[in-house]
Structure 1
Amino acid sequence: MRAKDVLGRRGEDLAAGFLESLGMRVVDRNWRCRDGEIDIVALDGDALVIAEVKTRKSLDYGHPFEAVDAEKLARLHRLAAAWCRDHELRMPLRRVDVIAVLDDGIGQPAVEHLRGVG
């Protein structure tokens, strides 16, 4: 596995644990369809949460949140609808959250969470 993939997997594991520490229930991870992938699907009370995780070693190329633009958000909303269709669920409350993980491999990783983006 490439170092980038290992870093990304570690970031997703940290993000899933973080969401669970907030009382959310992770119900799916790395769900794929022809239109893309959802990193984490969770339930927060009655709301379906589609969580996009961005993991970086440093801020050299900008903050991880900066990697989620309007086009990516639109794709995540389409993927949320596709996930619901695929699982035959009606979830009127849906939101996209973004989780940034900064992990230099030396110190404690930093996790930041933006709720209800776009």
Structure 2
Amino acid sequence: MTTSRATIGRHGEDIAARYLVDAGYVLVDRNWRGTRGELDIVARDGDEIVVVEVKTRSGLGFGHPAEAITAAKLARLKRLAGQWLGEHSPRAASVRIDVLAVILVPSGARVEHITGIS
């Protein structure tokens, strides 16, 4: 049985959302669509707005999930974060971009949270 990339991605985003809530983050937005892409999760960590890019893999055959964050992808995330901030005007001391790498394993999932990639 094969599982579609979209199904795997959605499952990874659900795991990431639970992980963030359990870590004390407040989810503000999920799957927000801007003019040139999508933000997986926007959360609040205290006084900070955190844009979270979720990368899910069902194995490491194609490398670690975080390796998918290229310079072009990071630039797009920054533009989208700026657009989201412009539309929502949240009160925040700062903004950062994190990556949540979700690796699906037979017993569940392994989550790696890389904070402040930008």
Q: Does 1:115 align with 2:81?
A: no
Query: What is residue 42 of structure 1 aligned with on the other side?
Result: 43
- Give the aligned partner of residue 67 of structure 2: 66
For residues 1-118 of structure 1, what are the structure 2 equivalents within 5 Å? 3-104=4-105, 106-118=106-118
Deviations 1:28-86 (A, max 9, x none): 00000111100000000010000000000110011001000111111111111100111
Q: Secondary structure at the match of 1:11?
A: helix
Distance 1:8 1:110 in 2: 14
Give 1 or 2: higher strand fraction: 2
In the alignment, residue 83 of structure 1 is paired with which amino acid? W
Query: How many pairs are equivalent?
Result: 116
Moved more, 41-50 or 88-97: 88-97
Check whether the contact 1:40–1:50 (CA below 8 A) recurs between aligned residues: yes
- CA distance in structure 2 between the partners assigned to 1:89 and 1:16 by the alignment: 20
Are the counterparts in 2 of residues 84 and 90 from structure 1 also a CA contact under 8 Å? Answer: no
Q: 1:91 to 1:81 in 2, by over 3 A?
A: farther
Percent identity of the aligned residues?
A: 49
SS at match of 1:109: strand
Deviation at 1:91, TM superposition (A): 3.5
Unaligned runs of 5+ in 2: none
- Greater CA deviation, 45-54 or 76-85? 76-85
With the length of structure 1 as denominator, give the TM-score of the two structures: 0.92
TM-score (norm 2): 0.92
Tell me how far 1:88 sits from its aligned partner.
2.9
1:107 deviates by: 1.8
Letter in 2 for 1:109: A
Cα RMSD (Å) of the superposition? 1.3
Structure 1 gap segments, 5+ residues each:
none
